[in-house]
A = this chain, B = another copy of it.
Amino acid sequence: MPSALPLRSAEIIAVGSELLGTVRLDTNSLYLTEQLACLGIEIRTKHIVGDHRETLARVFENARDRADLIVFTGGLGPTDDDLTREVVAGVLGRTLDIDEAIVERIRARFARRGMAMPDVNRRQAQVPRGATVLENPNGTAPGLLLEDEQRLVVLLPGPPRELIPMFAALCERVLAARAGAERLYTASLFVTGRSESDVEQRVQPIYSTWRDAEPRIETTILAVMGQIELHLSTRGADPASARARIDAARDELARVLGDDVYSTDGRSMPEIVGERLRVRGYAIAAAESCTGGLLLSRMTDVPGSSDYVYGGVVAYENEAKVAWLDVPEALIAQHGAVSEPVAVAMAEGIRAKTGAQVAVAITGIAGPGGGTVEKPVGTVAYAVLVPDQPAYVRTHVFLGGRDMVKFQSTQAVLDRVRRLLR
């Protein structure tokens, strides 16, 4: 490779009419963005283009005016609809030659499955003159790398299982050396029990000073399923000082938000709660009604959770609450199945049945039916029992659809276990 200016900006062009419908989404660009961000290469624009020769050529020409690196994904298949190779060669004024070594590799790949290579697949061996071929161990279409004046043009196959290893190898072997010394450093905080605007109001005076600082720290606040995520990033040429700076920024926000921050290292709520249980040698058992098993399912999504998850019951029917959890029928008759006394009785019932140190119970109205004026859809009563503390019981009215009510209920219970096991 000739020496060149460092790569700083990139554009991604995802090719394929199927990416423009309502069914399939381009997800490759998220992976590419993340990898490029690590190298300090900034994505300026992403394009998703159908299988139209003229449009693709125009989008490419325009990207050449702006970007140091242009990454195509898709359009490398064997059919007439697969235009990426031709269009790139055409715009760059390169001849397309058939590389017989590639033909042989494709032929061998078909042969290993006992098939003859269809003639159309020869198209996948077309190489613009001067391009470097990128091996594809997971498919027939090789990738291609072209030097185009000061910039690089990369053509990758669309299927993620082919694209990801190919691009990872390219980053390591070529792009890392061509990128500048600056790299991206990130940190995150996950917050519960506060609204987005409340979080914003508390952290804005802090992060607003970082925007004008050098090096600048970018802050993104994201509300996801009833909780708040703060994402920080900065660039730097010295890993130690950049890392220290971003960690200090994260810690500053964590101090302001206090115990409402449940994770500063990307771990999920079930992971954090699992760790607190594991440290104490506690087992947890759950009695779920409206969440229908979601709480235990989320907890058991964590590898190794069998160390502290005892199990539990999904007592959807009132009959099940009585039979399995010894909830007195009279209690249900008096207060209703969705009530704090019943939630406590359910938690006590599952604790008695299992001997688990931590017992939780959830009963509510997930909707869309079943709501009343007194107890609207989204009303959820939950109880948490941990050793040496009084029973914790609360009622919330969660907003959103059935899945949102279920998720927020489990999140509230997990968060309470976390806080009680400080």
Contacts and interface: CB of A to CB of B under 8 A. Distances in A.
- Most chain B beta carbons < 10 A, residue from A21, A402, A403: A21
A20 B49 contact: no
A320 B354 contact: yes
A363 to B, nearest CB: 12
A250 interface: no
B30 A25 contact: yes
A367 B50 CA distance: 40
A199 to B, nearest CB: 15
Given A37-B22, A311-B317, A316-B311, A297 B300 contact: no
A300 B311 contact: no
Contact of A314 (B45, B231, B311, B317): B311
Chain A interface, >50% SS class: mixed
Contacts of A66: 55, 58
B303 A292 contact: no
A48 interface: yes
A22 B33 contact: yes
Contact of A47 (B47, B231, B323, B354): B47
Given A18-B220, A222-B24, A320-B311, A403 B301 contact: yes
A: interface residue count bin: 35 or more
Contact of A65 (B58, B283, B368): B58
A220 B24 contact: yes
Contact of A46 (B20, B229, B291, B367): B20
A303 B377 CA distance: 12
Given A20-B44, A299-B292, A310 B306 contact: no
Contacts of A45: 20, 47-50, 55, 59
A86 interface: no
A316 B299 CA distance: 11
A294 interface: yes
A243 interface: no
A308 to B, nearest CB: 10
Interface in A33-85: 33-34, 37, 42-50, 52, 55, 58-59, 62, 65-66
Given A20-B46, A33-B20, A314 B293 contact: yes
B301 A23 contact: no
A30 B22 CA distance: 6
Interface in A223-243: 229, 231, 233
Interface string A385-404: 00000000000000000110
A288 interface: yes
A62 B46 CA distance: 15
Given A309-B316, A311-B320, A369 B44 contact: no
A309 to B, nearest CB: 5
A406 interface: yes
